[in-house]
Amino acid sequence: EDQVTQSPEALRLQEGESSSLNCSYTVSGLRGLFWYRQDPGKGPEFLFTLYSAGEEKEKERLKATLTKKESFLHITAPKPEDSATYLCAVRNDYKLSFGAGTTVTVRA
Amino acid sequence: EAQVTQNPRYLITVTGKKLTVTCSQNMNHEYMSWYRQDPGLGLRQIYYSMNVEVTDKGDVPEGYKVSRKEKRNFPLILESPSPNQTSLYFCASSLYSGSGYTFGSGTRLTVV
């Protein structure tokens, strides 16, 4: 069974304080690893797709990396608007399996 | 605008009263799926569909039905809702098996 574990559960940062979120996974037949951002009461918003170990993607203050067993989402110099829950998910053919998420709070 | 549209956004109903949550996508996506999200349990897949008339169970299918008669629509049916189906529901679609899902805005269902 596919498993996705995210850590930490919650992260409180000062504005400008860089940090990293971890996503470790086990999956049969990885079709992709995905990062989403979710704001309270809203649907997950797609951020990145990573397909193979060594791959990296960047968007503004966010950078995602992938190894064979885990992925990291690095937040550089975060701002209050980066506060959200960040979800990691792995896909095999039809199913997207999600981790529980990391809730990031950035204080001004 | 490319999107997944769910209706209604909010629904309060009584135990046993059949209901349907509609989902439509305008991106010509092959894959569609329903998820429910509960505190502490995260997002769990209910059903998915690979194409018209092709559907299969996800992790938590009990108490739900789906159909895919047209490519763009994927309604979720609760024949006899129970309080344990109170949850936040998301419909999602993707172009192919290696692509990420695009999610709808969600339907908050309360069964009393």
Q: Tens digit of pLDDT for each residue in B56-88?
A: 999 999 999 999 999 999 999 999 999 999 999
Question: Nearest CA to CA, how far is A15 from chain B (Å)?
Answer: 27
Closest residue, chain B, to A5 (C-alpha): B42
**How confident is the model over A26-49, as pLDDT tens digits?**
988 788 999 999 999 899 999 999
Low-confidence stretches of chain B (pLDDT < 70) are none
Q: What is the pLDDT of residue A29?
A: 79
Q: What is the pLDDT of residue A74?
A: 98
| Cα dihedral B2, B10, B88, A38 in deg (nearest 10) | 50
Q: What is the pLDDT of residue A73?
A: 98
Mean pLDDT of all residues in chain B? 94
Task: Please give the average per-residue pLDDT across A56-69, as a whole number.
Answer: 96
Q: Which two tokens stand for residue A64?
A: 């995602």
| Strand-strand pairing, A95-98 and A102-107 | unpaired
Closest residue, chain A, to B32 (C-alpha): A94
> Cα B74 vs. chain centroid, distance in angstroms?
7
Closest CA to B102 of B27, B20, B7, B22: B27
Task: Please give the average per-residue pLDDT across A67-85, as a whole number.
Answer: 97
Whether A85 and A38 have beta carbons less than 8 Å apart is answered as yes
